[in-house]
A = this chain, B = another copy of it.
Amino acid sequence: MRIVVQAAPLNLGAETNTFAANAKGAGAIVTFTGLVRDNGGTLTAMEIEHYPGMTEKAIATITTEATTRWSLTDALVIHRFGRLAANEPIMMIATAALHRTNAFAAAEFLMDYLKSRAPFWKKEISASGAKWVAAKDADETALNRW
């Protein structure tokens, strides 16, 4: 299990290769990557604020639960903060398991919980000003399925 909260850009390819190289014994790897949506070209930048200390703890709790519940052989969460440009990766997760069903379920669980339970806040900057991204009811509702 590896959890990283960083301001630096995320090298998806390198992280994916490292994760796969360490996944000896697994049969399935699922990754999810969240990108900064460009909102049809109107977005200038996205600023992500977080709660140092609590962020790492919250992600570790969620990831440990996913690992136990779906018998993951490994899990990775990388989440960025600070100023990001359109189309840049915001975050990625990876799950490794013996079979695909568990790797998929754990990845969806991780994403649902990171959305609403990891202390990050996104602000979209466009020509018309800055706006905090509102939490979606659908994201809170998604937690009920687990």
Interface residues of A (CB under 8 A from B): 11-17, 20, 23-38, 40, 87, 89, 98, 100, 103-104, 107-108, 111
Contact = CB atoms under 8 A, between A and B. Distances in A.
Number of this chain's copies in the assembly equals 2
A17 B11 CA distance: 8
B30 A31 contact: yes
A34 B27 contact: yes
A45 to B, nearest CB: 16
A100 B113 CA distance: 13
A32 B30 contact: yes
Contacts of A26: 35, 37
A16 B12 contact: yes
B12 A24 contact: no
A26 B39 CA distance: 9
Contacts of A107: 30, 104
A35 B22 CA distance: 12
A48 to B, nearest CB: 14
Given A28-B34, A29-B35, A104-B104, A12 B23 contact: no
